[in-house]
Chains A and B, each alone.
Chain A
Amino acid sequence: MNAGVVVEESRLALSLPIGRGPRKTIELNKKDLHPALTFANRRTDAVAEAEIASYQSIAENLLRDDRWQPRQVFVSSPAAGDGKTSTAFNLAWALSMQQKSVLLIELNFARPRFRSVLGDLRIRYGLDGALQGSAKPEDSVFSLGDSGLHVSAVRDALDKTGIKRRLPLLANFIGWAAESYEWLILDCPPVLSPAWNGWFRENASPVLMVVRAHKTALLEVRKAAQQLGPNLKGTLLNDSDRTQ
């Protein structure tokens, strides 16, 4: 299932599904990737190494802790701009480095960002297409890197009506993904935003809440924690002054 993979110094290989035929491998210029994707960029400076070490440590914690069952993590934050997407990417990459097959799923249908952080990647089918029934679930998944990381991105942003229509079908997709991959990392909308609707309140569990140091308000953290209740299983401090 894992696609063929990367790795040159300046390029990142992706394996994309092309209709019913064999998957196609394309190469991305790394300078087009978002710099927050630490693993993909393969930076070698001390900060990048410390960051990679942090994500690896967090990944080990996830693997050790049995509260993250059924082996899925809903990554969210109190408000926008706290670093959910980059955390989800890097965490999924760190898990995949542990010889695990990981599927990173984009659930922010209103403001999808996966394609933009990958340098405006063009895909044929996205998660939205799979939920709509125009493609099979596996057709919406492309492979990234050389460590068994798979991504299901939203191709086109959806309006409220589209989101309402597709969210009930998401459970089937997640069920398929849980059977196909060992770990699911789900990038969610902010908890305190209108996009965090009833579906997330009922189904998003366990939740890893990302907080950006010196930016996310303490008040918002408390409100988000109160809203998530027992579904909140862990927290992660982004942009911390300390290194682990």
Chain B
Amino acid sequence: MQENSVLFRIFALPLRHKLTASMIAIVVACGFFVWGRRVAERYASPALLSFDASTVRHAETGGAQPSAITLAESILGDEQVTVLTSHFDISPAPDESSLKIFRSHLKLDELGPTILRLQYLDPNGMQAVAMTNAIVEVLTAWTPVETTITPQLPVTSPPVKATYPKSVPIRSMHALLRPGDSLMRMQAQLSAIDHQLTAIEVERQKLNATKVNHSIVEKQTNTRQALETQLAAAQKKLEDLRVRYTEEYPDVGAAQEHVLDLQQQLAALPAGHGGDVAPTVNLKLEAITREASQLRLEREHLTRDIAIEKKRAREEHDVDAVQAQSSGGIRSHVPSLTTVPSTVTRASMEPLAQASVSQLTMSPFTLLQQSSYTVSGSGKPGSGLWLGMLLALVGALAYLGLAIRWYKPVHDETMLTEAVSTEVMYMGSVPRMNL
């Protein structure tokens, strides 16, 4: 029967119920579409950073240990944020509102004392990832203000020699070592270089002193030559006077006194001569300066390599800890992350401090995991729309089903007469026309 068909019964429903079902479908589809976009936002994964508070203890806080969030927020000042927001065109004219938008969208969480989770929330997932990674770059590029530790080296402790150990080709050596050994060896090499630099400095001071002495002698020689010239002139004058006058003449006596005075002055001057000392000292000084600059270059390379090696070691430890934490591992692994690298760092830094060099300056933040953009389901951003449309259809049909059940139509005169009072007369029926 036609009237038993579901489609016919849906068609027979009042228009308002059909409209209501349509509205339900539209609302469900739109709601799912919007929700799908928010889900995509969630799938812009956060970035993970490791945080080493010991790096900034001296420089930034005067001994107090800052939290990762506090330090990150202080690094991301208004000027830095303005650059970021301008770059990503968050607001055409960077002003206070764009700063507020940035700060309200930036989410910082501490997963532990050394792990910082960073995420920039944005409806556009790609933009969120790009901004998150840009912020990560800012944090990892930041370094605390460099501080110089007071020299601990006793003035007389290292034996000062004219010769000093030859520098070793450090970079070629530590590249062949294992990661753990490499760090220790590089630190030992760094210590050796520092010793060499110290020895060179002492040698340079000594040569400088020699050079000063030589200049004094040279000055005395000049004085002697002047006196000798004056003496020769005085003796010649005396001989001329003796030809013309007797010994009792006053001028002859005065000339004899002048000659004696000059001879006394010459006798008072120290004997000896500078000879070829000056060129030798200068050559040595030049050689020492060249050697020192070469050692400083080596030291700079070595310092950079040590920093890289330390970062790599910390990353390995922290990634292991994060994986253990995310897989329900025991949380007690996290402290080991914090203690082991810092202990090693301090032990290895000890010779450096004793060698009176400036402390290594490196960012307390190290990247563990970059932010990435992934979409749920099949990986296509629009795939959720089909599911939304399906749910909308199901919702609309469910409503229509309930409406059909509720709006049971009158089929025949029996139903009609039962629905009204018995006093109401049934006047008759009109057959259906096939119009």
Contact = CB atoms under 8 A, between A and B. Distances in A.
Nearest to A243: B431
Contact of A213 (B8, B412, B420, B425): B412
B176 interface: no
A218 B427 contact: no
Interface stretch (A3-11, A44-52, A138-146, A151-159): A44-52
A107 interface: no
B432 A235 contact: no
B283 interface: no
Interface string B253-287: 00000000000000000000000000000000000
B313 to A, nearest CB: 78
Interface residues of B, number: 31
B431 A242 contact: yes
Nearest to A221: B419
A62 B14 CA distance: 30
- Max count, chain A CB within 10 A of own CB: residue among B407, B413, B423, B427: B427
Interface string A204-236: 000011011111111111100100001011111
B430 A211 contact: no
Contacts of B410: 211-214, 216-218, 221, 237
Contacts of B425: 61, 65, 67, 233-235
Nearest to B8: A214
A177 interface: no
B420 A225 contact: yes
A240 interface: yes
A240 B419 contact: no
B434 interface: yes
B424 A234 contact: yes
Contacts of A36: 433, 435
Interface string B398-426: 00000000111111110111011101111
Contacts of B431: 47, 50-51, 54, 239-244
A233 B421 CA distance: 9
Nearest to B424: A232
A47 B433 contact: yes
Interface residues of A, number: 49
Contact of A215 (B409, B416, B423, B434): B409
A214 B406 CA distance: 14
A213 B432 contact: yes
Given A214-B411, A215-B409, A218-B408, A58 B419 contact: no
Contact of A235 (B14, B424, B434): B424
Given A54-B430, A243-B431, A214 B419 contact: no
B18 to A, nearest CB: 12
A125 interface: no
B411 A213 contact: yes
A237 B412 contact: yes
B427 A62 contact: yes
Interface string B14-39: 10000000000000000000000000
A221 B419 CA distance: 7
A29 B57 CA distance: 100
Nearest to B3: A214
B326 interface: no
B416 A239 contact: no
A238 interface: yes
B126 to A, nearest CB: 52
B402 to A, nearest CB: 13
Nearest to A239: B432
Contacts of A242: 412, 429, 431
A16 B36 CA distance: 65
Contact of B435 (A35, A212, A232, A244): A35
B420 A240 contact: no
Nearest to B1: A241
Contacts of B3: 214
A233 B407 contact: no
A225 B426 contact: no
B178 to A, nearest CB: 85
Contacts of A222: 419-420
A211 B416 contact: yes
A43 to B, nearest CB: 9
B429 A237 contact: yes
Interface string A77-89: 0010101000100
A47 B433 CA distance: 6
A39 interface: no
A98 interface: no
5 nearest CB pairs, A to B: A240-B429, A237-B429, A217-B407, A239-B432, A225-B420
Given A213-B412, A218-B409, 12 more contacts: A36-B433, A83-B430, A213-B410, A216-B409, A217-B407, A218-B408, A219-B406, A225-B419, A225-B424, A233-B424, A236-B429, A241-B431
16 contacts: A47-B434, A61-B428, A216-B409, A217-B407, A217-B408, A221-B416, A222-B420, A225-B421, A225-B424, A230-B423, A232-B421, A234-B425, A235-B416, A235-B417, A239-B431, A241-B412
